[in-house]
Homo-oligomer: A and B are copies of this chain.
Amino acid sequence: MLTYTLEKRNRESLYEQLYRCIREDILSGRLRSGERLPSKRTLAQHLEVSIITVKNAYEQLLAEGYIHARQRCGYFVSEVERPPEIRQPAHSMCAQPEKEQEWFLDFASGAMDPAYFPFTVWARLMRQTILEQDKGLLRAAPYNGAAELRVAIAGYLRQFRGMRVDPEQIIVGAGTELLYHMIIELLGRDKCYAVEDPGYSKIAAIYESNRVQVQYVGIDEAGLSVSELRRHTAQVVHISPTHHYPTGTVMPIGRRQELLRWAAEKPDRYILEDDYDSEFRFVGRPIPSLYSTDENQRVVYLNTFSKTIAPSIRISYMILPPSLLERYRKNLGFYSCTVSGFEQYTLAKFLEQGHFERHLGRMRNRYRQKRDQVMGEFLHGPLAGRVKITGQDAGLHFLAELQTKLPDAELQRRAAEKGLRLAMLSDYYHEPKETRQHTLVVNYSGLELQCLPRALEHLADIMREETTCTTN
């Protein structure tokens, strides 16, 4: 007869203790496969517990498959074997991720200054959303996002970007990276995707990680070279015509037309217009989107609120031309929307009540000011006369061409020793190019101004030492 010591005062209930004891005996082989368990009544009397306790323990063992019942015969041990005691290999302990280096000043990170976020307004709208939407918040949004948000985005684009978009054309997703995935599924894995070289390396990384063919197309002073594109087999081209990263090039209308003509020539050619920071233009009116210029439904427009509101707000969207929209609904409409209801409704209010445009206006002023301060330090500080600045009209970075002979890698290595993280234009090329050396990409949005003079002194020192050290 099974004999166990069950303790009433244990954290576990009696039935759980009994279940665990019998399970252990089955796994260890003490209770053998096919063996009959005592009846509930017998075991209960033997252990001096209630029949309910035994019944519950047997039922749990039954549910997990340790025992089985035969009608009117009772319970029998099932065929279960103790898994071989394989010691976990050394790497079973979780390696902690490498600690990120702490930088004195980081020119490479495009971090936003969180002080710029309209925190009070956002919190108020969130509370308002909770009050107004109440239970409605808990229903799943349609695959393309909450109607309220799509209407608000379409309204914003009409009013401030001159774009005519039906809210039905908008697909809301948790970040542009995710939307790239969806685009690959929409347009096809058999397609070849062209990206800009130089360019934002994450875009190519995502295509590569998705195992679709990627081709790198060079840019000239007017942006992506269409004649080079024609020498490739790519059907889809992923570009940022309004503000190329990191050169800051704005694609002129002539090149845009050339690119649209290229797309219109074959039925499966598309342009992905990644408009990630078109909002930060400091002179004149916004550059019209390529999407608006296209008359052949070949442009998919993408934008994100993570860059303009806050990185931890994961809301992006894409606008599909009507012909692709039908395909999207049919093939991908089964996917759930990836953004939570709360934030969709809050953002809808933020857009509708004009907070977004006011926020952008304030951000433009602040970033323009910050850009001017950073540029001033570069032009009039310790590097004076040894630096040339370009690409400062838009976006949250500019280029600083340094008068130095130090190769970029060496410059970065020496700067890192002083706690400075440098992003160089040459880093953004797929194929390293000698001719693109010596140009610093200054991502100024997150720079701490008080550290800048010291950082530039370090940089000037490194450039001054170059002749003595390059001989090593």
Question: Which A residues lie at the B interface, using CB under 8 A?
Answer: 16, 19, 56, 59-60, 63-66, 78-81, 83, 85-86, 88-89, 91-97, 111-112, 114-115, 117, 119, 123, 126-127, 130, 134-135, 137-142, 166, 168-169, 174-175, 177-178, 181, 185, 189, 202, 205-206, 209-211, 222, 250-257, 260-261, 264, 283-285, 287-288, 293, 295-297, 306, 310-315, 321-323, 325-326, 329, 331-343, 393
Contact = CB atoms under 8 A, between A and B. Distances in A.
Contacts of A80: 253-254, 257
Contacts of A252: 64-66, 78
Q: Which of A166, A312, A332 has its CB near the most chain B CB atoms (within 10 A)? A: A312
B96 A168 contact: yes
A97 to B, nearest CB: 6
Contacts of A338: 174-175, 177-178, 314, 338
A254 B322 CA distance: 53
Nearest to A250: B63
What is the total number of copies of this protein in its complex?
2
A334 B205 contact: yes
Given A80-B257, A137-B312, 9 more contacts: A56-B284, A65-B253, A65-B254, A83-B295, A91-B322, A94-B166, A126-B130, A138-B313, A174-B340
A64 B297 contact: no
B63 A287 contact: yes
Given A63-B283, A94-B325, A252-B64, A177 B336 contact: yes
Contact of A78 (B19, B178, B253): B253
A202 B334 contact: yes
A135 B123 contact: no
B314 A339 contact: yes
B138 A117 contact: yes
B312 A340 contact: yes
A222 B285 contact: no
Contact of A340 (B65, B250, B314, B393): B314
15 contacts: A63-B393, A65-B255, A79-B254, A83-B295, A92-B323, A97-B142, A117-B138, A119-B135, A139-B312, A206-B335, A306-B336, A310-B341, A314-B337, A314-B340, A339-B340
Contacts of A141: 312
A413 B174 CA distance: 38
B140 A311 contact: yes
Given A135-B119, A137-B312, A340-B313, A169 B94 contact: yes
The 8 lowest CB-CB distance pairs between A and B, nearest first, are A65-B252, A312-B341, A140-B311, A138-B310, A174-B338, A174-B174, A94-B166, A114-B138
A302 B66 CA distance: 24
A388 to B, nearest CB: 17
B285 A16 contact: yes
A323 to B, nearest CB: 6
Given A119-B135, A311-B139, A254 B63 contact: no
A40 to B, nearest CB: 15
A166 to B, nearest CB: 4
Nearest to A335: B177
Contacts of A81: 257
B139 A283 contact: no
Contacts of A341: 310, 312-313
A393 B59 CA distance: 12
